[in-house]
Chain A
Amino acid sequence: KQEVTQIPAALSVPEGENLVLNCSFTDSAIYNLQWFRQDPGKGLTSLLLIQSSQREQTSGRLNASLDKSSGRSTLYIAASQPGDSATYLCAVKLHSGYSTLTFGKGTMLLVSP
């Protein structure tokens, strides 16, 4: 059974710092990996999607990497801002087609001004 672990569970940084969130998964045979942002009491916003054949994806100040063989992904946030404060979730998709995602518990990020 696929398990997804995110470290750290919580992170507090001052504004402007670069930071890295970690995600690991037990079964390396994934179809893709997706990073989401969740604000308190809200749904999920997709940030980056990395296909199994890709090594990284970038969007603005966000960069996500994938090392499928070792079962790891990282989300790099450059020049963090207070508006980045949220919970960041990592999820893996095992198969193509209509298969669901297996989620980690998330990393709660607080960026202080």
Chain B
Amino acid sequence: GAVVSQHPSRVICKSGTSVKIECRSLDFQATTMFWYRQFPKQSLMLMATSNEGSKATYEQGVEKDKFLINHASLTLSTLTVTSAHPEDSSFYICSVAKTLTDTGELFFGEGSRLTVL
């Protein structure tokens, strides 16, 4: 199966600082990656779809200027939480799909726990 790597797994930062989370597809090239956010005891909510070489597509209610997504290569997408505040504390998970004609199975990273003090 696919292997998706996320880094860092945990990060604690002060309010007002920016934090970058990396998502790497280790086994195959991924033109599209998805970023999710999960609050405690809640389901995963899609934040944005990251497209290699073009702008990300954000879900309604997600501030694109606050959550910057860069997908500069076929194996790496980054999510930067700018000017983080305590309410941004959450679990962020990325996922990738193999190919357009694949089974449609999505593979997920290990997640990144962000705590903003």
Contacts and interface: CB of A to CB of B under 8 A. Distances in A.
Interface of A: 4, 31-32, 34, 36, 41-46, 49, 51, 89, 91, 93, 96-101, 103-106
Contact of A104 (B43, B95, B97): B43
A46 B44 contact: no
Contact of A42 (B41, B42, B45, B110): B110
A54 to B, nearest CB: 11
Given A42-B110, A42-B111, A93 B104 contact: yes
9 contacts: A32-B103, A42-B111, A43-B6, A44-B93, A89-B43, A93-B104, A98-B100, A100-B34, A103-B44
A36 B91 CA distance: 16
A105 B42 contact: yes
Given A42-B110, A43-B93, A98 B49 contact: yes
